[in-house]
A and B are shown apart, each in its own frame.
Chain A
Amino acid sequence: MATVEDRQFRVEPFPGGTPGNQRLVEEGRLPDYDVVGTRPIRHDGTDKVTGRARYGADIKLSGLLQGYVLRSPHAHARIVSIDTSKAAEVPGVHAVCTNADMPSADHRAGDLGEGIVDWYHLNQNVLANDKVLYTGHAVAAVAADSVHIAEEAARLIEVEYEVLPPVLDVREARGADAPVLNDDVRTDLQPAGETGDTPTNVAKHFHYEKGDVDAGFAAAELVIEREFTTETVHQGYIEPHTATAFWSPDGKITVWTSTQGSFMIRMQVAELLDVPISKVKVVPMEIGGGFGGKIAVYLQPVAAVLSKLSGRPVKLNMDRSNVFDATGPTPGSYMKVKIGVDAEGKITAGEAELLFEAGAFPGSPINPGCMCVFACYDVPNGRIDGYDICVNKPRTNAYRAPGSTHVALATETIVDEICEAQGICPVEFRLKNAVKEGDERVDGVTYPPVGMWETIKAVELSDHWQSPLEGPNRGRGIASGFWFNFGGNSVVAATVNEDGTVSLIEGSTDIGGSRASVAMQLAEILGIAAEDVTPTVVDTDSIGHTDVTGGSRTCHATGLAAIKAAEDIQAQLCQRAAMLWDVESEQVEYGDGATLTGPEGKTISFQEIAGKLTQTGGPVVGRGSVNADKHGGAFGTHIADVEVDPDTGKVQVLRYTVVQDVGTAIHPSYVEGQMQGGAAQGIGWALNEEYHYGDDGRLHNASFLDYRIPTCYDLPDIETIIVEVPNPGHPFGVRGVGEVPIVPPPAAMANAIFRATGVRMRSLPMSPPKVLHELLSSDG
């Protein structure tokens, strides 16, 4: 077998895309599909662009009440008492609730698919019990005839607080003198499984070790150790959280909400309200962005409790400041990372200490951070310690490749420094150190076939990398990143219609074009057009349990379910043809071009047999149910060109290319959209996004005015190079694509800023005041 280095590659335009959409092609290896890899118009497109699509807040019901949530003005306080009597007396108010109106919860872990929750903590996050732990923490809620009445009434709720000192920084929070947020938290040391015995803010400590770390560093010619910090950032989805609930007198609860996982909402509502899951139906509405932040419940159980108390359906909407104050975010962090290399630029050892903010309750993505910090490189000796630390900020939630962007900033910046110090080209360094099949990560996982090396190869061959960047104050940086992706449970049911089309129902809420990509996989198997499949996302009573749309799992796992459903349809249609032809079904084959063939040259098309189903035994419904576990991890490498204004520290992105191994692109436009969207969020995180807290723990910038996500004026047309190293765990080779692209941008931008200015930025965001400060300091 030829080694990977001997293979021949070229970068060329990806058919059907814009000039900036390219792909890496290996000589002699081009995928051969009819539907997969094409760019049909998405099935839900017309409704979305004409405003007909119904989002969470669009739901209207007879007798609907509007709710308002009273939130804590303090970052850390004990609730001495809550008196709701005045609010309850306001005309037009139908219900008032506090944590006391919810069943009490136990310390038990629940798996939401992109993170574990403790039910006791989730109960307290939904409505505070004896303490508030961040400004904006929900304390009580009111349902009334209008939202204005509800708000006025909520202001009459008297809450007596005993204000406590807040702690906002992870390094302070783990100190012995720090105020402890949760009396019940003890340090859980993993994977050893030991538990501490004193109350602490350090909820988890992960420790991984591989090889002989000290010997590895001793063997190094160059060792670089650096510290990094990142600030708390929000997912920034455009649609605020919303939930409407009706608790029927027969005990059934219906919840209309925008969510990444209707079955996860069902589980959380059932757990927190202590009802069986069969009593809860969740109707997923269209979702205006989630990025990991719309998995955990906030409003749903509260709306249900208000509905139970009032006997009417109740709607709760957050405004933008609620969203910033109380939802999301992804943690701020402190990181110390050390990498050693030998004289040839081969990594000999790596060490990392990672401190992530958990927010109010345990649950930061520290473990993925630990597993990703050295994931791109063959690190023979490594030691990683990661800490999940409670601080007085909202409980952190998943955000696109949770934890990986943080650690990529550290590792990829140090790699760039090593390249600079040793005079090695950053592409060459990465080609030399890239992980390949069979390499073992520091946390002990051995890689299946992966495409890290191929993404670097694509960078090397790209027009972007080969075009010199000229002009003063300009620089080019590259960085790589990794995400695991996920598989999990998915169900698809597909009904063959008499006109030769297929109605597909699924439980995966569509946040990234998954209706189209799932329908296309079914269409490919059946040999019909993507347009002849109508995909619909249905409620939790109408399809089997489907995990969250997260972890970049949907195209892979729900796609697998669609493939199984298609194969089920094929088998049933073969039986029907056998019946028509009076032969054994084994003699019938479902072949190319959606044609069934039998003995003696008998053929019948999919369209023809679809019209005969009612005469041959009734409608055909295919079903696919999977628990997928062969999701392929994926890598990306980004190229950033920037220009830095030396007088203001402001960074302009001149050109940006995302290179990513996607396995196989089912719908290239949506793959490219994910690559571009992830990069856009990563660039925002790199340059300007951050939570600004006062010393009192109050969030100062809970609005899009002062929480600066990039606008279209701030980004170039982001170029893409799709790399297709098929995932052997999927018939078409699909890997997840949605999360990888947010990982490299901050590091790529930091490396580009260094090449432009000579200044190393090790603290996010790299906002103008911080960059200018470094520039002025380096001049002096």
Chain B
Amino acid sequence: MRDFEYEAPMSLDDAVALLSGNPAAAKPLAGGTDLIDHIRTRRLEPDLVVDVKKIPDLNVLEFGDDGLRLGAAVPCYRIYGDPQVAAAYSALADSCRIIGGTQIQSRASVGGNLCNSGPAADSTPSLIALGARVVIAGPGGRREVAAEDFCTGPGQNVLESGELVVEIVFPARPAVGGSHYRRFIPRNEMDIAVVGVGAAVELDESGQSFVSARIALAAVAPTPLYVEAAGAALSGQPVSDEAIAAAADAAREAATPIDDMRGTVEFRKHISGVLTDRVIREAVARARGEETGYRIGQ
């Protein structure tokens, strides 16, 4: 591993100053579960690592009537460990429960997962499905982007030099709503998504029709993929096999995967449809408050 300098600022302004002072060679560190590995394997060679875990703004986890504020450095275990958050934003909790094992979950953050901008990131489809917005701070002040607009390519995103993610904000959940994320992995745990699907649905009061839905896919495109057409196939439709199949078809169509060691094009496109179907059904069941059969690894 190459030597680097380490700073742990206590304020956002200090962090922005450090990152702006050496923009090409400085990297923010939250849980470090990706960054340290990248430094060790020389994918990244920063001169300066700025630990952002000590900044209060990045450790906010605030659940309220108008939504959820999630600080960029909040580790996964705090998210699924908060019963209100886990119940209302269950897709996000699903993601956090399957990112690594217990040790990783006690360090790794959703903000870091987003900024690493891997196509297979497990939490990003949940952010997109739940309609989250990403709050960014930098030398030019603050700005916000929609979660689906954050990643621009494998390992690439909209952050400009000196910028960092402060928090992710989620709108309030609808009265009859449910969400779910699951991924396909060859094993049952400790693995990376071959395909991941996140969905959030809003049903009418009877629970029999979709009001709206948002669906996002992981690992089937250069970036996490918001599939607007899949949500549109559900919106206003009765909850039915036909509507769900149409959404699954849309997801399969939208997927543009590559052949690699984790899966073939044929496999990933097929699984995009299969998982979308399963994820929507789970999200509907959750919206209705029904018992569901989901177990991690299925």
Contacts and interface: CB of A to CB of B under 8 A. Distances in A.
Interface in A148-187: 148, 151-152
A521 B2 CA distance: 52
A119 B166 CA distance: 60
Contacts of B10: none
22 contacts: A148-B2, A151-B1, A152-B2, A647-B274, A650-B184, A688-B187, A692-B261, A700-B260, A700-B261, A701-B261, A705-B191, A705-B192, A706-B261, A708-B191, A710-B187, A713-B188, A713-B190, A714-B187, A768-B267, A769-B263, A769-B267, A776-B270
Given A648-B184, A768-B194, A769-B266, 16 more contacts: A148-B3, A151-B1, A152-B2, A647-B270, A688-B187, A701-B261, A705-B191, A706-B261, A708-B187, A711-B187, A714-B187, A767-B186, A768-B184, A769-B263, A772-B266, A773-B264
B270 A772 contact: yes
A710 B190 CA distance: 10
Interface string B265-286: 0110011001000000000000
A706 B192 contact: yes
Contacts of B192: 705-706
Interface in B182-199: 184, 186-192, 194
Interface string A615-628: 00000000000000
B297 interface: yes
B143 interface: no
Contacts of A768: 184, 186, 194, 263, 267
Interface string B186-222: 1111111010000000000000000000000000000
Contact of B267 (A152, A692, A773): A773
Contacts of A705: 191-192
Given A648-B271, A648-B274, A708-B187, A773 B261 contact: no
Contacts, number: 62
B262 interface: yes
B261 A772 contact: no
Contacts of A706: 192, 261-262
A687 interface: yes
Interface of B: 1-3, 41, 184, 186-192, 194, 260-264, 266-267, 270-271, 274, 297
A649 B195 CA distance: 14
Interface in A670-712: 687-688, 692, 700-701, 705-706, 708, 710-711
Nearest to B187: A714
Contacts of A769: 263-264, 266-267
B183 to A, nearest CB: 11
A711 B187 CA distance: 8
Contacts of B260: 700
A773 B192 CA distance: 21
Contacts of A687: 186
User: Which one of B41, B266, B267 has the greatest number of beta carbons of chain A within 10 Å?
Assistant: B267
Interface string A342-356: 000000000000000
Interface string A320-331: 010000000000
Contacts of A776: 266, 270
Contacts of A714: 187-189
Classify chain A: how many residues form its interface, as a range: 20 to 34
Contacts of A647: 270, 274
A773 B263 CA distance: 11
Which 8 A-B pairs give the minimum distances between C-beta atoms?
Answer: A692-B261, A769-B267, A713-B188, A713-B189, A647-B274, A688-B186, A769-B264, A714-B187
Contact of B266 (A151, A652, A773): A773
Q: Which of A647, A706, A767, A769 has the most CB of B within 10 A?
A: A769
A229 B270 CA distance: 25
B40 to A, nearest CB: 8
A152 B41 CA distance: 13
Contacts of B41: 321
Contacts of A321: 41
A692 B186 CA distance: 15
A767 B264 CA distance: 11
A650 B186 contact: yes
Contacts of B186: 650, 687-688, 708, 767-768
A710 B188 CA distance: 9
Contacts of A701: 261
Contacts of B271: 648, 772
Contacts of A700: 260-261
B33 to A, nearest CB: 12
A253 B190 CA distance: 42
Contacts of A648: 184, 271, 274
A210 B192 CA distance: 50
Given A648-B271, A706-B261, A711 B184 contact: no
Interface in A634-678: 647-650, 652
